[in-house]
Structure 1
Amino acid sequence: MNLAFWKRNKDDQPRKRKSAVREWLDAAVFAIIAATLIRTFIFEAYTIPTPSMEKTLLVNDFLFVSKISYGPRIPNTPLAVPFTHHTLPFTKYTKAYSEAVEWPYRRLPGFTRVKRNDVVVFNFPEGDTVALEQQDQSYYGLVRSLGRDAVWESYHVTSRPVDKRENYIKRCVAESGDTLSLRDGVVFVNGQQAPIPPESERRYTVQTSNGDPLNPDRLDDMDISGAENTLSAGLFLYNLTPGNVLDIKKTFPTVKDVQPYFSGEQSVFPYDTAHYHWTEENFGPLYIPKKGATVKLDSTNIAIYDRVIRVYEGNTLEAKNGQFYINNKPADSYTFKMNYYWMMGDNRNNSLDSRYWGFVPEDHVVGKAWLIWMSYGRGSIRWSRLFRTIK
């Protein structure tokens, strides 16, 4: 393969034939460059590691993530080992990138913008993680029992550039400029109930007349997991989709009642219990920051926008004698420099999402989940899921 095909042979002499090794080397270099450009600017493969998006996306679904949909990001760290994310293969902590060159956030034009109900891949916003996505459930439980800050210290190792932080996948339920709230687990955006994804899961209590749990073999045939917990005699906790609720009522004569389950946990964003008694099921109203919009700052909302001002947008923020100072200047308001989004998993009771760490900045957005190209579970390929577009 001649990578210098455009050069003329001035003497019109026959070119010396390259060796087979040189041909293969040229082909490999070309393939690496082409694949890297495709992965960086067009689409990238991604694997679902946790059940936080079930049943919309299942563990071991293999996706293509479109980067041209929202416009590809120019890498923050362009010097990196090809086909790696943040660490070298077969190592835990060896970096696969260099910070000798770091570029500011820039994004090329895309075909669309992040919209409500899009399934989005993004870099985990709250600092840095070490395989945190694989520990979604354990982190989720620790946050609820110990509080975010205590758990965060145990997971924090070092600060990685934005484009080298762990990839997460959730559904955008509110975009910049929206006002979001949750009432008994139902999402409302700008005062209107948001669409419920048909394959989304949440916990329900199922009461049976004979006091026994539902037959696990029949549940398995219906692709429903067994009871998560026994709440009391004849009352069981199941993770169900809206369709599952109708199915078990028809299938099991012993089912007396099915109701959504509310846990009432309070360890949620912005972790300011003096001003906000929000829970994972009842939350807000909360304004999602929009580029160019201005909010008034006071003691009641500073916990909400503190991280946006300091970390995501790179300012200093101090409070002295009842006055806020941004970049050492008195301030009673703030104008946002970026758009932000609110992301939640479709498996609402088993998802570490914006309810626990807040907003996702636009510079953290990787791309739009587009297509399931492979899926396997229980030791076999899930043929019905192949080449399905993601909604």
Structure 2
Amino acid sequence: MNIVEFVIAFILLFILPYIGLWGLFKKAETPGILAIIPFYNWYYMLKLSGRPGWWLIFMFIPGINFLVAIGILVDFLKSYGKFTFKQLAAGVVLTFIYLPKWGFDKETKYLGPSASEDFREEYHEFLKKSSAREWSEAIIFAVIAATMIRTFFIEAYVIPSGSMESTLLVGDYLFVSKVNYGPRIPSTPLSFPFAQNTMPFINTKSYSDIIKLPYLRLPGLSDVKRGDVVVFNFPMQADSPFYRPVDKQDNYIKRCQGIPGDTLSIVNTQVYVNRKAMPNPPESQPSYIVHTDGSPLNQQIINDLHIFVANQITPTDYEMLMTRKSAAALNRYSNVKSVTDYFQPKGIFNPEEFPHDPHLRWNVDNYGPIIIPKKGWTVTMDSLTFPVYRRVIQVYENNKLEIDGNDIVINGKKSKTYTFKQNYYWMMGDNRHNSEDSRFWGFVPEDHIVGKALFVWMSSDSSGRGFNSIRWNRIFKGIH
């Protein structure tokens, strides 16, 4: 994410809404400074609305928190006389416009806690609904608003694994923009809100296959670029044993290393695109062999430098994953004799690597060259290219593919070439020796792209407790 995108997103998502909250708090004779303190602002929104403060607990429950946040905002806006569906929808979807507008216009005034009985009696002509009906409509409105925001604008995402460390840490909460690459129209519109592919607890399908829409992406701000950190649907769930629709496959997050038409190779862990070395992510974690004098390594140093000990090879040698900065720091300690790069030598075949063909003696650190398919590109099919593009042709582009002796038969016709129907991308984790990515399962189709990671808005370390679990230095951290 470049600095311009970060600044624009930060202004729209935080600066303008917080400025609006400041003004609205002041109208209720509440200190405006409380509007910019995370979680305290939600607590005081509950207080000004007449809702119990313990509702704030729900803001820490993933999935539910988004709905609760919309419910709190709706109650808060009603306390300022915003009763109509149009006003509430505007306040929820376009907070960066309407909160500042209402916070500083002369017409908007704080009327009192909207959840109180006195408020309901005084403004009953605007609230002519039973309590049950009001709650039902509020829930429906929150679900619709949240679904619209998540589908077409922005979605929260939490990092579940260490494949992007140290760029992104387990427990980082991100905002992912659907606008940058253009939002997709859901291919399975009949689905349970906020459940990706299975229902919580009962573990059944959260969607129906009755209606399936073709792939359609609305215009976006840009195409996927090399170096972007991208959220996408995991393409290996397109066929057996899952057979999930594109939008119901699990979400993955990696860095785009190659775009359509690129020729990509990896030489001794260095990624090359079109024969040019790609910049290494500053917080990526390569693998090193650390040679010591045999004395124990200080665990506090390991923790402070955010080092992952992958393997103890001998009593004096370790394989460790760490940033280049951490490697330089570790090498300065007296009991560390050397810190050297580690990679699998060229020509050593790893059967786990895509396309799993022994003729292509590729491994995680020496890989390719491989050409990333581009829409409209025609490839000649032979013994070397067929294994690379077979899955694309058969699974992602839905062709019937057969082998008849030495002939390749596509949709009943012998074929020596194939022309691709869509663009593809090559995705890799920054934690190169602890990431299952395109090196293991191949290309990511364009219709699987979800959005661009913008910045970390919250980060929690599971080893801590209470406020000590919050990584304060990562809040509002941009992703580079």
Q: What range describes the TM-score normalised by the shorter chain of this pair?
A: 0.7 to 0.9
For residues 311 and 389 of structure 2, what CA distance do their matches in structure 1 show? 37
AA in 2 matched with 1:386? I
For residues 276 and 368 of structure 1, what CA distance do their matches in structure 2 show? 32
Quick one: higher RCO (CA 8 Å, sep 6+), 1 or 2? 1
Write out per-residue CA displacement over residues 225-279 of structure 1, whole angstroms, 9 at most, x where no aligned residue. 4x332222422111111111111122x0232221111245612111110x20111
For residues 16 and 253 of structure 1, what CA distance do their matches in structure 2 show? 73
Which of 231, 237, 261 is residue 121 of structure 1 equivalent to? 231
Residue number in structure 1 paired with 2:363: 279
5 Å-filtered alignment, 1:1-391, equals: 1=83, 3=85, 17-92=128-203, 94-127=204-237, 157-208=241-292, 210-225=293-308, 227-250=309-332, 252-263=333-344, 266-267=350-351, 268-273=353-358, 275-377=359-461, 378-379=463-464, 380-391=469-480
The 10-residue stretch of structure 1 (283-292 or 120-129) with the greater mean CA deviation from structure 2:
120-129
For residues 412 and 326 of structure 2, what CA distance do their matches in structure 1 show? 56
For residues 320 and 126 of structure 2, what CA distance do their matches in structure 1 show? 72
AA in 2 matched with 1:357? W
Write out per-residue CA displacement over residues 183-214 of structure 1, whole angstroms, 9 at most, x where no aligned residue. 11111111011111011002100112x22342
Residue number in structure 1 paired with 2:12: none
The two structures, once aligned, show a CA RMSD in angstroms of 1.9
For residues 435 and 446 of structure 2, what CA distance do their matches in structure 1 show? 21
Shift of 1:336: 0.7
For residues 86 and 305 of structure 2, what CA distance do their matches in structure 1 show? 59
SS at 2:231 equivalent: strand
**What are the ranges of 5 or more consecutive residues in structure 1 without an aligned counterpart?**
6-13, 130-155
SS at 1:51 equivalent: coil
For residues 15 and 350 of structure 1, what CA distance do their matches in structure 2 show? 57
AA in 2 matched with 1:231? I
Report the count of equivalent residues: 352
Which structure has more helix as a fraction of its residues? 2
**TM-score normalised to structure 2 length:** 0.70
For residues 53 and 245 of structure 1, what CA distance do their matches in structure 2 show? 17
Go from structure 1 to structure 2 and tell me whether the alpha carbon gap of 1:127 and 1:15 turns closer, same or farther (over 3 Å shift): closer
Write out per-residue CA displacement over residues 78-126 of structure 1, whole angstroms, 9 at most, x where no aligned residue. 011112211112222x111111100011100100111101111111111
Q: Is the 8 A contact 1:128 1:166 kept in 2?
A: no
Shift of 1:4: 9.3
Larger Rg: 2
The 10-residue stretch of structure 1 (163-172 or 229-238) with the greater mean CA deviation from structure 2:
229-238
Go from structure 1 to structure 2 and tell me whether the alpha carbon gap of 1:15 and 1:123 turns closer, same or farther (over 3 Å shift): closer
Go from structure 1 to structure 2 and tell me whether the alpha carbon gap of 1:335 and 1:213 turns closer, same or farther (over 3 Å shift): farther
Go from structure 1 to structure 2 and tell me whether the alpha carbon gap of 1:15 and 1:119 turns closer, same or farther (over 3 Å shift): closer
Write out per-residue CA displacement over residues 116-168 of structure 1, whole angstroms, 9 at most, x where no aligned residue. 01111111111359xxxxxxxxxxxxxxxxxxxxxxxxxx5431111101111
Go from structure 1 to structure 2 and tell me whether the alpha carbon gap of 1:24 and 1:322 turns closer, same or farther (over 3 Å shift): same
Which structure has more strand as a fraction of its residues? 1
Shift of 1:28: 2.4
